[in-house]
A and B are shown apart, each in its own frame.
Chain A
Amino acid sequence: MSTAEAGWKRTISDVNDGILVNTRRPHPAFYVALFLAAACLVLGAVLWVVQITLGMGMAGLNSPVYWGVYITNFVFWVGIGHAGTLISAILFLFRAKWRNSVNRSAEAMTIFAVMSAGLFPLIHVGRVWLAAYWMLPLPNTNNLWINFRSPLIWDVFAISTYLIVSLLFWYMGMVPDLASLRDRCRGFKRLVYGVMSFGWRGTARQWHHYETGYAFLAALATPLVLSVHSVVSWDFAMSIQPGWHTTIFPPYFVAGAILSGCAMVYTLLVPVRWMFNLQEFIRESHLDALLKLTLLTSTIVFYAYAVEFFIAWYSGNIYEQEIFAKRLSGPYAFYFWVMVFCNCLFPLAFWARRARAHVPTAFVICLLVNVGMWFERYNIIVSSLVEDFVPGSWGHYEPSWTEMIITLGSFGWFFFWFLIFCRYFPIVSLSELKLIMPPPLRGKSGGGSG
């Protein structure tokens, strides 16, 4: 699956030209997209300010549904953030070369997704002005400390670690490319890219350190792929709420995260590829590999759903049984069935090569997987909270406009950063691509990796 396929005869400078096209002339659609993203972002931000000023009553939350769309979004974005590290770190360690065309954008997506995810606990809490620093272990004269037993504290550490490591990994991989950009720019841009590339000159010594460091970070990031979403799943699994309190959650969440991440990468790459004319670099075969990964995780998730129901029945616990019975046919059954169709049944189409090869079909299915994964979290959170132990406390939940617009705002926030990235940074890793270029330009031993 290397780039050394028939008919691909490009020079290094062609690679530079082809990929860095985005830093010169954006497609008009880019500006439309950027404007839309910024508009959503501003709208969401304004409503957040209103919500901070007036209170959490702006959301549709109530007793007993104390968590709703905000936490759904949090889990959703964390999940999206998984594919990047999986593709860049794990596939790097496994030497899967197809990753070279998609890893940069996948990593960028990870960072922006985690940035979106990180906002939601803050949007969600009642007193964000205090939560922002009281959740951190900061020494203070009152001897007030955080509760290390609380999964929310683990979340703080898991997410912040993940963000830092992903950011380092992404940025470090980009340093040689930024240097290429620097070399092609003049004036102010040259200065900025120059600072950002830390004086990269491509010496053998620099390459040696770079590759050692990159491999090291890849190794460091790999366990995070598994840990972050496991920790997020503990937010639920550690509570005694029926529907949440199950041991299957960590693997189930990780598989779901990778499913949603891969689907999201696909959903992003298709338009980006078209917008910046990258068909030559991000090829059908790469997308095909991505869809296979999607199919794999989809079946794992399918299995997890089934096991969840089996265990609920097998446990003999009436509270657990009733929650799951109601998921099938209760007031929130619609969301459950959306989830089943989008996450389990539609991706089955990817068994067929034709479905994988037909970009519009695959695009729609990946979009549906994203919808399904959002509803999976919504379903887990809301349908478990609405009706739990004591019938006298049962309730009802509908998201308010504020919640929906802030959710839209988070997409605006995500796409805003992603579009900025597409405009100013190499979307495909130049240096890695050059490393695997066919022999005429690199010598007979080509095809190796860094």
Chain B
Amino acid sequence: MPQNQRYSLADDVCADVAASPETEKNTKAALGRRDFLKYFSAGVALASSSCVRRPAEHAIPYVDQPVDQVPGVATYYATTCSGCASGCGINVKTRAGRPVKIEGNPDHRSTGGALCPLGQAALQGLYHPERRPQPLVRRGDQLGEVSWDDVYLHLSSRLNTNKVGIFTGGTTGHRAEFLQEFLQKLGAPRENLYRYEPNLLYAHVADAHQRAFGRYVIPRCDFTAAELIVGIGSDFLDQGLARVAYAKNFSAARDLNREHPAQLVQLESTLSLTGARADERIVIAPGTEIDVALALAQALYRQPQAQGGVAERQKIAALLQQHQVALAPDLQQHIATLAVQLVQKPSVVLCGGSHTFDANAAALQQIAIAINILCGAYENALSVQRGWQIPPVGSDDLQRFSRDVAQLDVLFVIDSDPLFTLPAAFGWAEKIKNVKHVISMQAFPVATDSLATHVLPVHHFLEAWGDAQTHAGQWTTQQPVVRPLTDSRQAEDVLLWLLATVKKPLPYADYRSYLRQRWQAWHDLQGDGKDFAKFYHTTLTRGTFTHQKQQARRELRAFEVKVQQVPAGLKLTAPLDNRLHDGRGAHLPVLQEVGDSLTTIAWDTWVALSIKTAARLGLRRNDVLQLKTASGVLRAALFPLPGLHDDAVVVPRGNGHRHGFSKVTDGIGVDPLVVCAVAEGLPLTAALPVTLTRTGKTYRLAAMQKENKLGDRGDIVKSLSLAQLRQHQNKVRDLDAVPDLYPKLEEGEHRWGLSVDLHKCIGCSACMVACAQENNVPQVGRSQVAMGREMHWIRLDRYFSGDADKPRVTMQPMMCQQCNHAPCEAVCPVYATTHDAEGINAMTYNRCVGTRYCANACPYKVRRFNWWTHKWNVIDAKDYNRNPRALNPDVTVRTRGVMEKCNFCYQRIRDGKHQAKMAGRAVQDGEIKTACQETCPADAITFGNLLDAGSKITQQRRDYRAYLALGGYPDIKEYGLKTLPNVSYLAEVTLQEEGSDEHG
């Protein structure tokens, strides 16, 4: 997307031409005789005037055309994603004032244009039909609708107190400062701002650094500086600290053009996406992450080449002496070998993640610091100077909240759902019982609203102002990209107006001018001499700017670590879900529908057990189990998952919202937090002792993939070792050199090709969400997914190979392969699917009669049939009244009885060619990007013109690793099905020397 097309909302520019939300009049007039007669005659007139032609709709041109709006041409706005706390920069594509697609912002340094599923799906949140249309105030047991004026009036009399607190999620940028200013103005202490992020890793890492170095920092890892990455229960590719940025960076570190592509060794008890991507994965017992970390620290300390200053080493030695661990001999051996490698190579060790939020989670981060000092990571891969600025959520916030809440009169809950995201054992509802006024300010109705006295709908982040600081010095700005779709307000503006009504105003007209002042302050500090107005405008347009700020690392203090022993036996882990996070994405159908990458289950919550444990207990897939912990009981169906430790019981979070949260989540899944515990004020969601009982019932989980193994089908996924690759690296492949009886295809200017690097793909499923958003792919709901009728144009095939205890996991994005000898094209009786001049297997929806022969003929089974008319607003026979404005106007919607499939985002190709033609030049390499490619955080997808010898796609197709799916083994002159796809894959590369089992 060209730079010059983006606009800012600075001052003079009006964003929006979309109609303002209609406010319906409340007419409650009693029906009189005359009215009755009027309606009666109108009814008669209506009934007798049937069979009138549908009135023609005319496109009406603008009278005054806004400067940034050309009908039919998209306008992009740069803003910041607030889906999670990472604060990724995004570009929002709008058409006629309405956002239609979210892309990563390529100018945002750490994410480089990539975006995760949650960010991609935010559009469905914006247009969600269940957003509250107006504020609610509690009257007795009921929440009744009121106007905003009434809210201000009502609250002004209640804010004359200094016993005010704010409970909110973790955000960077100026928001926290603003909220503290608000509290101060009301006379409340600044500490009454309580921040809680369900991803506790931020708090644990920052706290550990606070204790160790006296600075509240989160170091940022640069994987490209490491050759060996060790994860101990880490989930940096699943959630971690900033999943998109880390995935991007990790992918760069694994690039095979580097002399030593970074190797990942993961020690974990559950199977995470990070573990699935690891070159070597060692399964450890749940809850023993701390022991493994200690053992590693000790082994490292014994290494003569271990790093660290004398003082630091002394302190570490003191720490290690306190804790002796006994691990199994083979694990000990593994750790010893790792320690040797860690000191020999540039390396980094990442510990902890949402799979390890147990009683030792904080201690684990401290040991991690010791380990990283010993392997020299702080001088190399870990940067404190440019560390993450991720939310300053402290573990003490929740403790402070528990302590103070009894004294509060007024509690604001802003963009946070503590009732759902804290374990039931935390007793949030109990704790706020005595707070007189609980004001819940949410962009989407949440569980907490049920306890609130006032529920105020606030802007979705795409309608709001704000800013974020991803890592030290890297700022992103947030501006509205659409006029509010409901009668909501910016949360900060509501607070400002409330201050005004209680006569304690802050000197800002609104939050936007507050931010402007703040940005001016940096600008003045930076003193680069440029005009601020210009800076303001360019910053908003670009969406990001860097600011010379560095954090200094200080000397290591002595640190003490308390380690709690975890008893043996089955242990429950409730990690954050890769798509739904803590449940904040659960109301977005597209996220439910893409399914979990590892189990491929959509629309459900499952219990994962290791294959052995399930067999030992005589349990089978879909058996409903009852899980009992000290805190409670839950029931869910079983999914035996390879690669788990035999003691691990994994139930993902995200689903199990209570009835009434959203129609999307009604009856979907269970919430594992009801059985999770709380210790020292912090939620414990891992290594909880649990007992399993069989209920005797079964429940069919909607798993999209039935078969998990490839068997001896070696030409679907290929892999080779690094040594093999190095040996043949300079060989050039010609995948199209297949003996063929047919005449060669005519070659024009373009032949589009796509390549998927299996070595890089991390299985995050962002491509699936991006594709659904771009191509108006409908969501079909649980029952249809269970029948195998999902509509994804790109699916993520996941295969396990090898031992069930130590599986190798392969993720293979599979979309239409655009075969040059397409089996589907020959069999269509009506020419509804044909080959176009540029190599794309085109689908003419209007011509399709639905024989489905093409889908049978397709060996990749990537065609999707519309079994129903997937009305945009009906999922699984439930009416959602969704907003059709969320559809991409460039892509037609399909009716029942019609086949559809990936077409390389044809609309984007057309657009790119058009742009090039207008500019009088050829299409440049990289100019056209498919939706999946654009969002891919791992840079695994490349698209381009195969007839352009210099293009990246041509290079990738000639790479030694390149192969065609089902294309046989060209090395031994076996050419498989000879479908000659334009999609090629790049084989996986095993960086691990030992146990490199061959696939192809």
Is the C-beta of B396 less than 8 angstroms from some C-beta in chain A? Answer: no
A392 touches B798 (CB 8 A): yes
The interface centre, meaning the residue of A66, A147, A149, A388 with most chain B CB atoms within 10 A of its CB, is A66
As a 0/1 sequence over residues 888 to 908 of chain B, the CB contacts with chain A under 8 angstroms (1 = contact) are 000000001111000000000
A240 touches B857 (CB 8 A): yes
* Smallest beta-carbon distance A119→chain B, Å: 15
Q: What is the total number of residues of chain A having a CB less than 8 Å from a CB of chain B?
A: 51
Is the C-beta of B864 less than 8 angstroms from some C-beta in chain A? Answer: yes
Is the C-beta of A349 less than 8 angstroms from some C-beta in chain B? Answer: no
A390 touches B866 (CB 8 A): no
Is the C-beta of A271 less than 8 angstroms from some C-beta in chain B? Answer: no
Given known pairs A55-B869, A57-B789, A152-B851, the reply for A135 and B830 (CB within 8 Å) is: yes
Is the C-beta of B497 less than 8 angstroms from some C-beta in chain A? Answer: no
Q: How far is the CA of A283 from the CA of B52 in the complex (A)?
A: 67
Is the C-beta of B657 less than 8 angstroms from some C-beta in chain A? Answer: no
Given known pairs A126-B896, A127-B898, the reply for A392 and B812 (CB within 8 Å) is: yes
A390 touches B850 (CB 8 A): no
Q: How far is the CA of A67 from the CA of B851 in the complex (A)?
A: 9
B706: which of A144, A239, A385, A394 is its contact (CB, 8 Å)?
Answer: A394
Is the C-beta of A139 less than 8 angstroms from some C-beta in chain B? Answer: no
B799: which of A57, A130, A391 is its contact (CB, 8 Å)?
Answer: A391
* Smallest beta-carbon distance A245→chain B, Å: 10
- Which residues in B have their C-beta under 8 angstroms from that of A153? 829
Within 8 A of A (CB), among B76-92: none
Given known pairs A57-B868, A150-B827, A391-B707, the reply for A63 and B799 (CB within 8 Å) is: no
A240 touches B859 (CB 8 A): yes
- Which residues in B have their C-beta under 8 angstroms from that of A135? 829-830, 849
Closest A residue to B824 by beta carbon equals A239
Is the C-beta of B568 less than 8 angstroms from some C-beta in chain A? Answer: no
Given known pairs A67-B852, A395-B706, the reply for A152 and B711 (CB within 8 Å) is: no
A134 touches B830 (CB 8 A): yes
A63 touches B855 (CB 8 A): yes
As a 0/1 sequence over residues 337 to 364 of chain A, the CB contacts with chain B under 8 angstroms (1 = contact) are 0000000000000000000000000000
Is the C-beta of B966 less than 8 angstroms from some C-beta in chain A? Answer: yes
The interface centre, meaning the residue of A146, A389, A394 with most chain B CB atoms within 10 A of its CB, is A389
- Which residues in A have their C-beta under 8 angstroms from that of B896? 54-57, 126-127
Is the C-beta of B462 less than 8 angstroms from some C-beta in chain A? Answer: no
Given known pairs A127-B848, A127-B898, the reply for A392 and B707 (CB within 8 Å) is: yes
Q: How far is the CA of A137 from the CA of B863 in the complex (A)?
A: 26
- Which residues in A have their C-beta under 8 angstroms from that of B787? 60, 62
Is the C-beta of A292 less than 8 angstroms from some C-beta in chain B? Answer: no
Is the C-beta of A64 less than 8 angstroms from some C-beta in chain B? Answer: yes
Is the C-beta of A145 less than 8 angstroms from some C-beta in chain B? Answer: yes
Is the C-beta of B667 less than 8 angstroms from some C-beta in chain A? Answer: no
- Which residues in B have their C-beta under 8 angstroms from that of A124? 851-852
Closest A residue to B600 by beta carbon equals A392
A126: which of B784, B812, B865 is its contact (CB, 8 Å)?
Answer: B865
B857 touches A127 (CB 8 A): no
* Smallest beta-carbon distance A399→chain B, Å: 12
Within 8 A of B (CB), among A7-66: 54-57, 60-66
Within 8 A of B (CB), among A109-150: 121, 124-128, 130-131, 134-135, 144-147, 149-150
As a 0/1 sequence over residues 788 to 801 of chain B, the CB contacts with chain A under 8 angstroms (1 = contact) are 11100001011100
Q: How far is the CA of A156 from the CA of B797 in the complex (A)?
A: 37
Is the C-beta of A190 less than 8 angstroms from some C-beta in chain B? Answer: no
Given known pairs A126-B896, A135-B829, the reply for A57 and B867 (CB within 8 Å) is: yes
Q: How far is the CA of A126 from the CA of B865 in the complex (A)?
A: 9
Closest B residue to A153 by beta carbon equals B829
A131 touches B851 (CB 8 A): yes
A125 touches B849 (CB 8 A): yes
B829 touches A391 (CB 8 A): no
Closest B residue to A66 by beta carbon equals B852
Closest A residue to B863 by beta carbon equals A63
Q: How far is the CA of A240 from the CA of B853 in the complex (A)?
A: 11
Q: How far is the CA of A152 from the CA of B847 in the complex (A)?
A: 15
Within 8 A of B (CB), among A391-428: 391-396
Closest B residue to A150 by beta carbon equals B829
- Which residues in A have their C-beta under 8 angstroms from that of B897? 55-56, 125-127
A127: which of B705, B788, B849 is its contact (CB, 8 Å)?
Answer: B849
- Which residues in A have their C-beta under 8 angstroms from that of B790? 63
Is the C-beta of B947 less than 8 angstroms from some C-beta in chain A? Answer: no
As a 0/1 sequence over residues 282 to 313 of chain A, the CB contacts with chain B under 8 angstroms (1 = contact) are 00000000000000000000000000000000
What are 21 A-B contacts with C-beta separation under 8 Å?
A: A54-B868, A55-B896, A64-B856, A66-B865, A124-B851, A125-B850, A127-B896, A145-B831, A147-B830, A149-B826, A151-B827, A239-B853, A240-B857, A322-B711, A389-B977, A390-B861, A390-B965, A390-B966, A391-B710, A393-B795, A394-B706
Considering the complex of A and B, which 5 residue pairs feature the smallest CB-CB distances, nearest first? A126-B850, A126-B897, A392-B797, A57-B867, A393-B861
